[in-house]
Structure 1
Amino acid sequence: MEQLVAFSIGPVQSFIASARKTTDLWSGSYILSELTQKAMTLMEEIFGAESVEWIQPQPMKAAVLENREVASFPNRFICIVSSPLEETKEKLHRVESGLTEYLAEVARASVGLLFAGKVLPASVWEQVEEQVSDFLEIFWAFVPFENRGAFHEKRLEVESMLASVKNNRPISFKQQHGLVCTVCKQREALSAESPTAEMSQGELKADLRKLWGNIQNDVSRSQEGEHLCAVCSTKRMRRKALQFEPFPSVTAFTMAKIKPEQLDEGGNPIGMTASGDQERYYAVVMFDGDDMGKWVSGAKSPTKKATIEGNKAITERLSKFSAAGIAQAKGKKNMKVIYSGGDDVLAIGSILNVMRFVEEVREMFSDPENGLDKDATGSCGIIIAPEKAPLQQVISYGRKAEALAKGYENAATGAAKDAFTLHFLRGSGQQRIVTLPFSARMPNQAPAWFNLPDKKLISWILGLADVWQELGLSPNFIYHFEDVFKHVAMEWNFKQSKNKTTQSVNEGKMPFQNGAEIEMIRSELYRLIGNATAKSDPETKGKIREFADQLSSLYFIHQGDFLSYTQLLEMIRYFSKLAPAEEVLENVQTSYV
């Protein structure tokens, strides 16, 4: 008798985001991928390899083995097993127990490596066992699968059952008396003695120093004052346990006006401090396929139903996309792919490299040869952050940026999703956020000078940054532009709010949807750009006119509010200053992929 099984492993987002270092971020994705692989191996060992038919994902392929430093397995799988009903339940419990024990083994090895050379008291190992034993959130469901032609209905049923199990998950509370982990801030940090309620704050701190003092940083990769729980210790040491090269820090990806003599042999800046525009920034991108539920459910297929063969084909195509994305990253220096599995990609690197990379990834996703389908689309969040920004905060902003891109809609062009959100987090704490489609489409009522249909927006923006640099535009251009239009924008917004019950006014809104308003922007851009450059020869004037047309076209496509458009101009200005610095690092930095 066959059963359709859905198996899920968590936690996901909180586990990945609990990161103080880039190696923690990498380990979160990698360990989840390892656990999925281990669960699939246990399924074949316990049920018998010949009794398991994989639907999503497929077992490890050669492409994965070649890129084993990149996590590539999702946190769930779907398969068909040949097993009686009660026996299936018992065997799935064994898979669950085996997976928990596997993580415990990994944790014990990691903690032992972290405190290499120290004899740890039994209380430390007790803390490790206790914290790891109930960490995993493993959920599974299965339904009898007698008619293979009813795969669509049965998949919906088993997914619904799995969702119900997750919604009714048991909640356990454990009393903790010790000081919390400095990374996750959820579990107690490992300590020399088991903390008790009677211990004072001073005693708890002394207990931590007793265990965590004098740890060799080159082994533990820990910072002074850090004390970790068993789970975060496992993440911190996983890369070293697997004998991989150290994961580069954000410093290796940051950009400033760096000269070759300011870089060490590995391409890392030597003893640099920066502020303002000299602040060192890097980028993180989170890419995700759009409407994947519809693709998997068969809603995007001619039959509008999911089939076993169709789901397997989707898995195979997504595996090719994942491998192609990693291969594409190998050709880029100064960036690293952390996760590339299914329709998801997580990467970190220098700003321009990440932006070029994600545009290539989006193009590959709809490539019939290396992607999902010619009609498939994807959206992403790109967070640009200063070197000193907390990594957990950066990841949180990245997820929000991805969600903004998923919610993108443009009434003028009919575009939905298939977008990217740029979130620029300045060192001062100011934020710049703008969402744009990956490709520019010709609006229904575009002006005659609008001649940029089907243009790649990221390449377009970087091209505008090059022109900005070539014209030598003063940054005052943006402030003058804002000063000219902000009063008009506020007046428009005030009129719009008259008929509303709320008295709040959303400053900065300015749609400019008709031709006269767009022409007003275009004329003023031409005037201000001319005033912002010291060049006045005929060739430069021609470039200014073209540049004004392109910025006006960008606003027409943008269709956002006035504030976000000026923020986009600020980003273009910043990108215009990056190219020389990144060229220096391109010639020095070694590839990290």
Structure 2
Amino acid sequence: MSRSLVLFSIGPVQNFIDKARKTSDLYAGSSMLSDLIEFAIDTLKKREPGADIVFPDKDIKSKPNRFVAVIENQNDRMGLKETCVYVENSVKRKMVSTAKGLFRTLGYEYEPPGFVRQAESFLEVYWVVLPIKEQPYHVRYQEIDRLLNAVKNTRIFEQLTEGITQNKVGETGRKCSLCGERNALVYSSEDKESDKINPKTGLKRNFIAPTAVNIFHSLKKKAPFPLAEGEGLCAVCFTKRFYRHDEPLSAFPSTAEMALMDTLYKLDDRNVANYRKLFGDVFDEALFYEENLTERYFKKYKYPIGALERAKTMLKHIYESAETKGLKFSGYYAAVVLDGDDMGRWLSGEFLQDKSRLLRFHKSLSKKLGGYAREVNGILVPPKGKVVYAGGDDVLGFINLNYLAGVLDELRRKFPKLEELETTCREKKSSASLGVAVAHYKTPLSEVLTWARRMKDEAKREEDKNSLAVALIKRSGETVKTIFGWEMENGSPVTRVLGKIIDELKQGNFSKSFIRNIRAEFNPLLDSNGHYNARYIVREEIKRLVSRACMIKKGPDEDERDFENRKRLKISELVEILLKLMSESRSLNDYFSFLDIAAFIGKEVNDEQGKNL
């Protein structure tokens, strides 16, 4: 009986998932890859009953894009190779059958030419089989990981030829609206002229390939995720867009809904329910913003023009009701990316005291990360936010601003302490870095995701990693960013400072003018590297500026002495926080940006008292 190690990977991952115009695209893309890797695992286990899946944990909802298995069977190495080829082909057939099945749900008997070819050529499946034999598991694992990376660097190019016209050969025609890589084979247009072929170019109007199918009328009857007017998709992006077609529209919140999630949850009155009914079955939370109640917006998204004036009146009453409860209709939300630090080194066994126990460590690690993934799915729930995927050591999700500091704190605090596993070296502590992008709901989703990942990468470039990097993408086009180590000198997370400053500004205890004044006072102290000098004057100057910005009012039954003591204590607390933050910052630029972001969020979050940030 032979014993072999198998490493199996399906891609592309980030490039596929992040190319999304809607949050539902993002969620569906993540779900599709997770389901495919789960299908691959199940197929392998049916073919090889002796397969032991080392990781990922079987209970992780969002499976990562690869798995490791130890297989004991009576076949030789070539037999196991045939098994992996079979699994690879099965996964690709699954992708094609899924794409074809979704197209059939629209009522078409045949898909357009090139549709199957696009679906077939999309997946990048890589695998390596390595016999374990005399060498220990940890040696073979390091080797198989290196071999898989080498295989991925050898790419096979396959030319796609759909879009052939009478005069031209190759991919002639308009590219997919979502990925911009493959030809659009499915599109939606109410204009019948768009279906006519131009005799000069051999293409349909708007540079659509002649064989592309207009599914406008089918969408109106069958699909819960319609394409926008004039939008065209390739087979792969069509599959992603419609992958969760059997789920309700509310299965994954839009960016507008994400920004309003807490406000609508707390408001939840009859006015809101009646307002939703005004628009029928298809409702977009962007309609809660007065800026979208225009004839142009209604015509673009096919809302009844006759309901416009009534909608304006009803929304006004909703705003009035929200104001009495201290609720705001903020247009901003946050995207967060969390990634475990040095996970490659943890997996390789570099931090193990006894390398021979790597297999046992992998199984323990798999369960730990599986447990963390389940916790993440319990943290990011409405009205706090929503998980796109939680694969164990990596997380992508959205957070409502009212809960930003608290959710970030919880996500990082509950990240597994891998050093506590029995086989690890306790001198090394596990950690994770977080990248956050705070953006307006109308900012293109792809841009928000790019910034979130960019900030995560910047956080991981810090010397000790274990950092938080935040970018605020203002609607004006300005972007403010800051990076801080996760833990302050006293061991408390930097998010506690963020939450405290936001809370003080939100409750109106201090005017945010002190931030502007601190910047004006201390900018001249910056040296060429952005660091500050003259520390001895910092404390007194910050205390003076914070005192001037204090807006705490005396309570109606409060004694004058008690009021002065309460005021003095609040000022002292904020001064200490600001000084501690300054001492922890890499430069005044990071310090000022941190305060600017806190002030901006404080302006956007709800005003009701007792809010848990």
TM-score by length of 2: 0.79
TM superposition shift of 1:128: 1.7
TM superposition shift of 1:163: 0.9
AA paired with 2:471?
A: H
Alpha-carbon distance between aligned partners in 2 of 1:469 and 1:399, rounded to the nearest angstrom: 28
Contact 2:507–2:607 (8 Å) recurs in 1: no
TM superposition shift of 1:254: 0.7
Q: Counterpart of 1:103?
A: 95
Alpha-carbon distance between aligned partners in 2 of 1:364 and 1:54, rounded to the nearest angstrom: 25
Alpha-carbon distance between aligned partners in 1 of 2:7 and 2:199, rounded to the nearest angstrom: 41
User: 1:368 and 1:304, CA in 2 relative to 1: closer, same or farther beyond 3 A?
Assistant: closer
Contact 2:11–2:124 (8 Å) recurs in 1: yes
Structure 1 runs of 4+ with >6 Å offset: 192-197, 368-374, 582-586
Q: Kindly provide the CA deviation profile for residues 442-486 of structure 1, in whole angstroms up to 9, marking residues without a partner as x.
A: xxxxxxxxxxx1112212211122123345433332222222222
What are the residue-to-residue correspondences of 1:35-46 with 2, within 5 Å? 35-46=36-47
What are the residue-to-residue correspondences of 1:338-377 with 2, within 5 Å? 338-366=388-416, 375-377=429-431
Q: Counterpart of 1:454?
A: 491
TM superposition shift of 1:139: 0.7
Alpha-carbon distance between aligned partners in 1 of 2:388 and 2:421, rounded to the nearest angstrom: 19
Q: Work out whether 1:16 is the aligned partner of 2:17.
A: yes
TM superposition shift of 1:177: 0.8
TM superposition shift of 1:210: 6.3
Q: Work out whether 1:77 is the aligned partner of 2:63.
A: no
User: 1:52 and 1:534, CA in 2 relative to 1: closer, same or farther beyond 3 A?
Assistant: closer
Q: Counterpart of 1:68?
A: none
Q: Work out whether 1:229 is the aligned partner of 2:234.
A: yes
TM superposition shift of 1:96: 0.8
Q: Work out whether 1:271 is the aligned partner of 2:288.
A: yes
AA paired with 1:297?
A: S
Contact 1:181–1:187 (8 Å) recurs in 2: yes
Alpha-carbon distance between aligned partners in 1 of 2:261 and 2:249, rounded to the nearest angstrom: 28
User: 1:420 and 1:389, CA in 2 relative to 1: closer, same or farther beyond 3 A?
Assistant: same
TM superposition shift of 1:381: 0.6
What are the residue-to-residue correspondences of 1:152-171 with 2, within 5 Å? 152-171=138-157
User: 1:210 and 1:34, CA in 2 relative to 1: closer, same or farther beyond 3 A?
Assistant: closer
User: 1:370 and 1:463, CA in 2 relative to 1: closer, same or farther beyond 3 A?
Assistant: farther
Alpha-carbon distance between aligned partners in 2 of 1:29 and 1:43, rounded to the nearest angstrom: 21
TM superposition shift of 1:158: 1.0
Q: Work out whether 1:202 is the aligned partner of 2:199.
A: no
Q: Work out whether 1:463 is the aligned partner of 2:500.
A: yes
Q: Kindly provide the CA deviation profile for residues 293-335 of structure 1, in whole angstroms up to 9, marking residues without a partner as x.
A: 22211122222556211111111111111112222334x5241
Q: Counterpart of 1:570?
A: 596
Alpha-carbon distance between aligned partners in 2 of 1:93 and 1:206, rounded to the nearest angstrom: 34
TM superposition shift of 1:368: 7.5
Decide which of 167, 173, 180 is 1:178's aligned counterpart.
173
AA paired with 1:216?
A: K
TM superposition shift of 1:223: 1.9
Stretches of structure 2 that go unaligned for 5 or more consecutive residues are: 161-169, 188-194, 277-283, 293-327, 554-562
TM superposition shift of 1:242: 6.0
Alpha-carbon distance between aligned partners in 1 of 2:421 and 2:377, rounded to the nearest angstrom: 13
Contact 1:478–1:566 (8 Å) recurs in 2: yes
Alpha-carbon distance between aligned partners in 2 of 1:195 and 1:27, rounded to the nearest angstrom: 35
TM superposition shift of 1:575: 2.7
TM superposition shift of 1:366: 3.5
TM superposition shift of 1:434: 0.9
Identity %: 25
Q: Work out whether 1:53 is the aligned partner of 2:40.
A: no
Contact 1:405–1:418 (8 Å) recurs in 2: yes
User: 1:533 and 1:300, CA in 2 relative to 1: closer, same or farther beyond 3 A?
Assistant: same
Q: Counterpart of 1:522?
A: 539
Q: Counterpart of 1:589?
A: none
Q: Counterpart of 1:547?
A: 574
Alpha-carbon distance between aligned partners in 2 of 1:199 and 1:581, rounded to the nearest angstrom: 60
Alpha-carbon distance between aligned partners in 2 of 1:11 and 1:528, rounded to the nearest angstrom: 52
RMSD after superposition: 3.3
Q: Kindly provide the CA deviation profile for residues 502-547 of structure 1, in whole angstroms up to 9, marking residues without a partner as x.
A: xxxx6xx1244xxxx3332222211222222345963323322331
Alpha-carbon distance between aligned partners in 2 of 1:368 and 1:80, rounded to the nearest angstrom: 22
AA paired with 1:294?
A: R
Contact 2:19–2:26 (8 Å) recurs in 1: yes
Partner SS state of residue 8, structure 1: strand
Q: Work out whether 1:145 is the aligned partner of 2:132.
A: yes
Alpha-carbon distance between aligned partners in 2 of 1:226 and 1:247, rounded to the nearest angstrom: 21
Q: Counterpart of 1:296?
A: 347
Decide which of 374, 377, 387 is 2:441's aligned counterpart.
387
Alpha-carbon distance between aligned partners in 2 of 1:55 and 1:210, rounded to the nearest angstrom: 44
TM superposition shift of 1:346: 1.3
Decide which of 232, 239, 246 is 2:244's aligned counterpart.
239
TM superposition shift of 1:224: 2.0
User: 1:464 and 1:110, CA in 2 relative to 1: closer, same or farther beyond 3 A?
Assistant: same
TM superposition shift of 1:556: 0.6
Alpha-carbon distance between aligned partners in 2 of 1:104 and 1:190, rounded to the nearest angstrom: 15
Partner SS state of residue 400, structure 1: helix
Partner SS state of residue 316, structure 1: helix
Contact 1:402–1:421 (8 Å) recurs in 2: yes
Alpha-carbon distance between aligned partners in 2 of 1:8 and 1:110, rounded to the nearest angstrom: 25
Partner SS state of residue 136, structure 2: helix
Q: Work out whether 1:337 is the aligned partner of 2:387.
A: yes
User: 1:363 and 1:312, CA in 2 relative to 1: closer, same or farther beyond 3 A?
Assistant: same
Q: Kindly provide the CA deviation profile for residues 145-176 of structure 1, in whole angstroms up to 9, marking residues without a partner as x.
A: 113x6111111111111111111121223331
Contact 1:6–1:141 (8 Å) recurs in 2: yes
AA paired with 1:461?
A: L
Contact 2:112–2:212 (8 Å) recurs in 1: no
Q: Counterpart of 2:482?
A: 434
AA paired with 2:101?
A: A
Contact 2:505–2:511 (8 Å) recurs in 1: no
AA paired with 1:77?
A: F
User: 1:141 and 1:24, CA in 2 relative to 1: closer, same or farther beyond 3 A?
Assistant: same
User: 1:579 and 1:219, CA in 2 relative to 1: closer, same or farther beyond 3 A?
Assistant: closer
Stretches of structure 1 that go unaligned for 5 or more consecutive residues are: 65-70, 410-415, 442-452, 494-505, 587-593
Q: Counterpart of 1:89?
A: 81
User: 1:197 and 1:219, CA in 2 relative to 1: closer, same or farther beyond 3 A?
Assistant: farther
TM superposition shift of 1:269: 6.4
Decide which of 212, 216, 221 is 1:213's aligned counterpart.
216
Partner SS state of residue 285, structure 1: strand
User: 1:99 and 1:161, CA in 2 relative to 1: closer, same or farther beyond 3 A?
Assistant: same
Contact 1:335–1:354 (8 Å) recurs in 2: no
AA paired with 2:154?
A: N
TM superposition shift of 1:95: 0.9
TM superposition shift of 1:19: 0.5
Q: Counterpart of 2:302?
A: none
Q: Work out whether 1:323 is the aligned partner of 2:318.
A: no
Alpha-carbon distance between aligned partners in 2 of 1:300 and 1:2, rounded to the nearest angstrom: 26
Contact 2:138–2:355 (8 Å) recurs in 1: no
Q: Counterpart of 1:252?
A: 257
TM superposition shift of 1:135: 0.3
Q: Counterpart of 1:580?
A: 606
User: 1:464 and 1:203, CA in 2 relative to 1: closer, same or farther beyond 3 A?
Assistant: closer
Q: Counterpart of 1:480?
A: 517
User: 1:241 and 1:127, CA in 2 relative to 1: closer, same or farther beyond 3 A?
Assistant: farther
Contact 1:296–1:306 (8 Å) recurs in 2: no
Alpha-carbon distance between aligned partners in 2 of 1:139 and 1:388, rounded to the nearest angstrom: 38
Decide which of 551, 555, 561 is 2:587's aligned counterpart.
561
User: 1:150 and 1:257, CA in 2 relative to 1: closer, same or farther beyond 3 A?
Assistant: closer
User: 1:4 and 1:401, CA in 2 relative to 1: closer, same or farther beyond 3 A?
Assistant: same
